[in-house]
Amino acid sequence: MEKKEVPVQGAYRLLSPGWVVLVGSEKDGRYNVMTAAWQMPVSVNPPLVAVAVAKRHLTAEYIRTGGAFTLNVPGYGLLPKVQYCGSISGRNADKFAAAGLTPVPGQKVAAPLIKECLAGIECRLWNTYDGGDHYIFVGEIKAAAAAPEHFETQWSLTGGREHLPVNHLGGGVYAVPGMVASVSKDEKGFTVTEKPLEE
Name residues contacting ligand FMN, limited to 71-100 (CB under 6 A).
83, 86-90
List 26, 31, 50, 52, residue binding ligand FMN (CB under 6 A)? 52
Which residues 6+ apart lie within 8 Å of 97 measured at CB? none
Residue nearest to ligand FMN (CB): 86
In DSSP notation, 59-98 reads HHHHHHHH-EEEEEE--GGGHHHHHHHTTS-TTT--HHHH
Q: Determine the size of the site formed for ligand FMN (CB under 6 A).
A: 21
Interface with ligand FMN includes 18 (CB under 6 A)?
no
Rounded CA gap, 142 and 49, in Å? 11
Residue 4: Cβ-neighbour burial (10 angstroms; 0-12, 13-18, 19+): exposed
Closest Cα to residue 46, out of 110, 126, 102, 131?
Answer: 126
Task: State which of positions 103-132 bind ligand FMN (CB under 6 A).
Answer: none
- Closest to ligand FMN by CB, 134 vs 142, is 134
Of 40, 54, 79, 136, the residue at the interface with ligand FMN (CB under 6 A) is 54
**Cβ nearer to ligand FMN, comparing 12 with 115:** 12
Binding site for ligand FMN (CB under 6 A): 20, 32, 34-38, 52-54, 57-59, 83, 86-90, 134, 168
